[in-house]
Amino acid sequence: MNLSKFVDELPVPSVLKPRQKERFHTYYEVNMTQFKQSLHRDLPETTVWGFEGVYPGPTFEVESGEKVFVKWINNLPDKHLLPVDHTVHGAHLDVPEVRTVIHLHGASVESESDGYPEAWFTKGFEQVGPHFSKEIYRYDNFMPACTLWYHDHVIGITRLNVYAGLAGFYLIRDQRERELNFPSGKFDIPLIIQDKSFHSDGSLSYPKQPKNPVQELDTSVIPEFLGDTIVVNGKVWPYFNVEPRKYRFRLLNGSNTRFYRLKLDSEQLLYHIATDSGLIEYPIGIKEVLLAPAERVEVIIDFTNFEGKRIVMTNDAPFPFPDGEPVDSNTVGKVMEFRVVLPLSGIDTSEIPSFMVPFPKKRVQTASKFRFLTLTSRKDQYDREVMLLNNQDWDAPISENPKLGQTEVWYLLNLTTDTHPIHLHLIDFQVIDRRAFDVEKYKQKGILDYTGPAMPPTPQERGRKDTVIAYSNQVTRIIMKFGPYTGLYVWHCHILEHEDYVMMRPLKVLL
């Protein structure tokens, strides 16, 4: 499909209204349904899945500390919109084809409300997975202001459910953020960036087979998904009319596999103000933003003095990242266009503050446990690559079982040739460093021999994180304190094709 760029206006997801709001209790109901939506002017309407009849779903806006209850309701058809591979763990023929469970990515929540992959449920809660325990989830939201997102997390078909459209924003606000006087209201815009492919009838295209098809199977999981079209907030290559003033953008990579390295073709600076889990210490002027799947970055862009200009947000992240093929600059090399054509509606009194929030660095000396965890792969019976954490399948006995309140350092040893964005549920962490090591020696003798100096996190990573890029042939170290809840969670690669097959492991926090 060769669709014209910058012909549809960027939609901004509407804010979700609660069913009930009392002082200590806000209650939402959110329906998941299948419907048709126009994703591009020249494309017939696309059948998608979404929340409350819209893809991406409406945005939650909550206050830090507000107790929120959400009933996620599955009203989806019995048959999946996309090709399901029933050989994938958790998606065998002994379970209903369409299952859902919603995870609030980046949130610290009780185990029962975290959206454990086996806590799935079907339409009307008729059938539920072995770990299902409640219909109404509770979110305590005691995190400071941050940009979170909700999306499906069910075992075996997360890649298909998210690709079909099951994702949306969840913003936590707080008093400190208001005091900082950022651009707000209609000047505070979330952007979920995804890549998709389409058939000429407008339907979503997702391969039934990898490049080397598995003859024995009608449908097979693929090692990665790369679409040829960029979709932002549910529109193909949109444009956004802006005023000549400052804007706050919350950038989210909501793609299955693709990485983005974003820049403005005006070469202007982006003022980086927040990482995955909230504000950083000081704004940093950066030229480009790197986003692996599920990562978020908040930036302020100042369009003052750009009246009448058209500014394109470009992407030059190769795939596989970072050493793969360069992107096609005519397709996925472009993301969206800003048009500085609106008259100034008022004096821009918003600020780029010099200081935002303290960021106490976690010291390695405070850790009481050091875990060495490998990222590996093996071949399955169909000669497909199975991505693994620590060489273990999903249902192997639980091995990552930190104690409540314990600080741990995890060494993520990437023995594969791929780059994996690793995400932990429940907590946010800090990136300590990355260091090249001798992979062959490690594989043969189990000896960790570094071959280069420790590299500090990039400026963009110096804050609270919940997803970290683990490069091939490197040890990536992260540090975190487990709590405040106990129970069952997960950690996994956020390339959804890897997560489903089967780069995900339980994480159990013990009392």
List contacts with Cu ion (CB under 5 A).
420, 493, 495, 498
> Hey, is 113 helix, strand or coil?
helix
d(CA 46, CA 38): 6
The answer to whether 469 touches 189, Cβ cutoff 8 Å, is no
- Cβ closest to Cu ion, residue 103 vs residue 245: 103
d(CA 38, CA 189): 21
CB of 82 to Cu ion, least distance (A): 20
- Cβ closest to Cu ion, residue 11 vs residue 322: 322
Which residue's structure tokens are 């010291």? 363
- Cβ closest to Cu ion, residue 324 vs residue 487: 324
CB of 493 to Cu ion, least distance (A): 3
- Cβ closest to Cu ion, residue 424 vs residue 493: 493
- Cβ closest to Cu ion, residue 5 vs residue 420: 420
- Cβ closest to Cu ion, residue 117 vs residue 278: 117
CA distances from 355 to 177, 274, 351, 358, 359 (A): 11, 12, 11, 8, 11
- Cβ closest to Cu ion, residue 190 vs residue 293: 293
CA angle 280, 284, 290 (to 5 degrees): 85
Residue of 42, 39, 38 lying closest to 2 (CA atoms): 42
The answer to whether 332 touches 257, Cβ cutoff 8 Å, is no
Q: Which residues contact 393 (CB under 8 A, 6 or more apart)?
A: 89, 502
d(CA 441, CA 445): 6
- Cβ closest to Cu ion, residue 80 vs residue 420: 420
- Cβ closest to Cu ion, residue 143 vs residue 493: 493
CB of 495 to Cu ion, least distance (A): 4
Torsional sign, CA 480, 484, 486, 488: negative
Which residue's structure tokens are 């005023």? 243
- Cβ closest to Cu ion, residue 88 vs residue 336: 88
The token duo for 431 is 């990136």
Which residue's structure tokens are 């709001």? 21
125: left (phi > 0), else alpha (psi -120 to 50), else beta?
A: left
Which residue's structure tokens are 């940009």? 147
CA neighbours closer than 13 Å in the CB half-sphere of residue 202 = 15
CB of 423 to Cu ion, least distance (A): 10
- Cβ closest to Cu ion, residue 155 vs residue 495: 495
CB of 184 to Cu ion, least distance (A): 36
Q: Which residues contact 88 (CB under 8 A, 6 or more apart)?
A: 156, 157, 221, 500, 501, 502
Tell me the backbone φ, ψ of residue 421, rounded to 5 degrees: -80, 115
DSSP state of 441: H
CB of 303 to Cu ion, least distance (A): 36
DSSP-based helix, strand, coil % in the chain, nearest 5:
10, 40, 50
Q: What is the 3-state secondary structure (H, E, C) of 324-372?
A: CECCCCCCCCEEEEEEECCCCCCCCCCCCCCCCCCCCCCCHHHCCEEEE
